[in-house]
Amino acid sequence: MATKEEIIAKAKAAILDFDEDAAEAVAQESLDAGVSPAELIQDGFTAAMTEIGDQFEAGTLFLPHVIAASEAMSAGVAILTPELEKLGSESENKGTIVIGTIEGDIHSIGKDIVATMLKIAGFKVVDLGRDVAIKAYVDKAKETNADVVASSALMTTTMVSQIQIEEQLKEAGIRDSLKTMVGGAPVTQDWATKIGADLYGENATDAVTKLKAMF
């Protein structure tokens, strides 16, 4: 039987190799070995995604690599999700969060990591995916009676659409009944303050910490 450290190392390698099958296999292996899904995601998959992100920033990897790595992580997380949901349901439900990457933006790594970590923390997460129309955030927030609407933007050109979320939530008459959170590489606390968002998540850990503090 492989040790926990070996399994986590395999999880990292699966993502760095863009290998969906390997990610699924190691996720299953970790469940069989009794490794905490949260630990595997954080120290294995997420750690690898952070490396991929750094290489993308440095220009040594390109968008297709990032998407392939993200898809490998999603495949692994899908295997772990039933177990995560079981763990999540054992802790009290902290609230419902609608999350997505903003329209025109197909980057989803950061958002995927935040969504996964929020599930582990006991939130009910409604993940709209990437390239999400503003109206979809508003409709889904209404439908699920969401406590938080969180949007991620990875480009300055899509970041401006985060203003539209604030405006359309107001128009729909539900802005006062929920909190909004923004994040993504070009997004700052100043930007969040300027557009009237309640919270700014600098990274996945920061986002989860701030949301936990609210509930």
Residue, of 108 and 196, whose pLDDT is higher: 196
- If asked whether residues 103 and 144 sit together in one domain, one would say yes
- Encoded tokens for 160: 């401006």
Domain endpoint, select from 67, 90, 113: 90
pLDDT value, residue 185: 83
**Total structural domains in the chain?**
2
**What's 140's domain CATH number?**
3.40.50.280
- Of the pLDDT bands very low, low, confident and very high (cuts 50, 70, 90), residue 108 is confident
What are all long-range contacts of 162-167, with beta carbons under 8 Å and residues at least 24 apart?
162/102, 162/187, 162/191, 162/195, 162/197, 163/195, 164/134, 165/102, 165/134, 165/137, 165/138, 166/195, 166/196, 166/197
- Phi/psi region, residue 203 (left: phi>0; alpha: psi -120 to 50; beta: rest), is beta
Whether 142 shows a pLDDT value over 80: the answer reads yes
pLDDT value, residue 88: 64
For the full predicted model, state whether its pTM sits above 0.85.
no
The string of pLDDT tens digits covering residues 29-50 is: 999 999 988 889 888 998 898 8
- Of the pLDDT bands very low, low, confident and very high (cuts 50, 70, 90), residue 23 is very high
Amino acid identity of 145?
Answer: N
Domain endpoint, select from 65, 90, 115: 90
- If asked whether residues 81 and 147 sit together in one domain, one would say no
Enclosing domain of residue 50: 4-90
